[in-house]
Chain A
């Protein structure tokens, strides 16, 4: 308790908790359809693109998010186009784009500022990186993500469960895939500076997998995934504060621990 009070006395930590909590919530909700559609790696790919964009923004002295958001969103659409085209399969398309942007980002950094702690922060996240304007932006984006997800929940379910059927009955499946990619891109960009480009996709994948292990109804999977994700984020941040370890890595480790517990529970239930 005193630890919590101490944490909240730092403005930067309060900000980090707000932004992180919201990002965890959005990522977990989006994660369920992404995992079920076999798009799990999309978050990972997009965060690498975000890394490249942040590096370029820093070199140009531009505001980081004004560049990273449009670039990452564009990459999300490109990924969908590539995997829908059929010539390059989805996973190869993601691997291609993600390593490409990582390479570009590293070159840009080494030519401009050189490798320093800043670079490390991009890759593995930093709890100190959240400004007041980031909090406002993330509040706006989180509200948009949750609202759009809620409004189109039924359609997203239909398209996730059976894209061909949805198309045949007149649902524009392509538009909903694009919506998912767009929302994922926004969530990833907002969350990656705190969680780290290499770790943010953990927020997309782990809570969804844990919830899928426990629940047998789609709606419940979404709710449980969201609850697990936010809880893991807070526990992970608390642990990172207490042990003075990086937040992103700590959160992902808590997520993994919960996943193992959920698998355990699922295993016991089945016996």
Chain B
């Protein structure tokens, strides 16, 4: 049984077909990387997986005990967030579901996730004063408060320098080793192949879907890695 199964999924964005006849599934413990150029339908697919967009046709089903609102989402940062006056602890805690207040259980979970990502010393610091890498770790901790089953990461290393990126990839790898299922959207195809188990190459229609070793050897994979040009 898969966590997520997409069957013949078609999605539209502003009246145009963004994703066409896409079928794939994500099993528990998987590390799927979705690659493709800008405008290839990656962002639309994310919205659909999060339940923020209805499919034109086809279906997305959730199984294996995963509910649709149990996806831990790491979004790309918005300009409004960059100068948001909130402490690290407040941001992490906001990943827990308030009913409408946070109980001791939620606070403990926030604390655990801050420990997990090395944020305990930073918890009183203001989010806007942190470096890009630290901010991503805060958002990752928040996502882990929402779920420990599946993380959906949208271009997590954009704007980070190589050392910080490597560190973030390492953290994601560790989480995956602990059993957290990862779906990552990226245009960094080399890192995608290096870390992920499965690759989905999207250009409206799926161009490749299979394990990352095979992708490296495939024609589409090779040409995308070399020049970023699709055949």
Contact = CB atoms under 8 A, between A and B. Distances in A.
Leading 10 A-B pairs by shortest Cβ distance:
A170-B69, A216-B126, A154-B98, A168-B50, A218-B86, A217-B87, A158-B94, A168-B73, A169-B146, A212-B85
Contacts of A37: 80
A165 B154 CA distance: 12
A154 B100 contact: yes
Interface of B: 50-52, 69, 71, 73, 75, 78, 80-81, 84-87, 90-91, 93-95, 97-98, 100-102, 124-126, 128-129, 142-143, 146
Given A158-B98, A162-B75, A169-B73, A218 B90 contact: yes
B87 A218 contact: yes
A167 B47 CA distance: 10
> Per DSSP, are chain A's interface residues mostly helix, strand or loop, or mixed?
helix
A162 B81 contact: yes
Interface in A25-42: 36-38
Contacts of A171: 97
5 contacts: A153-B100, A162-B94, A169-B97, A170-B97, A221-B85
Contact of B126 (A157, A158, A162, A217): A217
B218 to A, nearest CB: 32
Nearest to B49: A168
B108 to A, nearest CB: 16
A216 B69 contact: no
B66 to A, nearest CB: 13
Given A164-B52, A218-B90, A169 B85 contact: no
A161 B94 contact: yes
A30 B81 CA distance: 18
Nearest to B67: A170
Contacts of B84: 36, 161
A38 B51 contact: no
Determine which residue in B51, B71, B73, B128 has the highest number of CB atoms from chain A within 10 A of its CB, and name it: B73
B85 A164 contact: no
Interface centre among A151, A162, A169 (most CB of B within 10 A): A169
Contacts of A154: 93-94, 98, 100-102
A152 B102 CA distance: 11
A219 B90 CA distance: 9
Task: Give the interface residue-count category, chain A.
Answer: 20 to 34
Contacts of A219: 90
Given A164-B52, A167-B52, A218 B85 contact: yes
Contacts of A169: 69, 71, 73, 95, 97, 146
A81 interface: no
A216 B95 contact: no
A155 B93 CA distance: 11
Contacts of B101: 154
A215 interface: yes
A231 B159 CA distance: 43
B79 to A, nearest CB: 9
Given A154-B98, A168-B73, A169-B73, A161 B81 contact: yes
Contacts of B97: 169-171
B41 to A, nearest CB: 18
Nearest to A218: B86
Nearest to A158: B94
Contacts of A218: 85-87, 90
A165 B126 contact: no
A165 B101 CA distance: 18
Among B69, B80, B94, the most chain A Cβ lie within 10 Å of the Cβ of B94
Interface centre among A38, A153, A166, A216 (most CB of B within 10 A): A216
A219 B62 CA distance: 37
Contacts of B142: 165
A271 B98 CA distance: 38
B85 A215 contact: yes
Nearest to A212: B85
Contacts of B91: 161
A37 B80 CA distance: 7
A164 B73 contact: yes
A165 B100 contact: no
A101 to B, nearest CB: 28
Contacts of A167: 50, 52
Nearest to B106: A154
Interface in A123-151: 151
Contact of B87 (A155, A158, A212, A216): A216
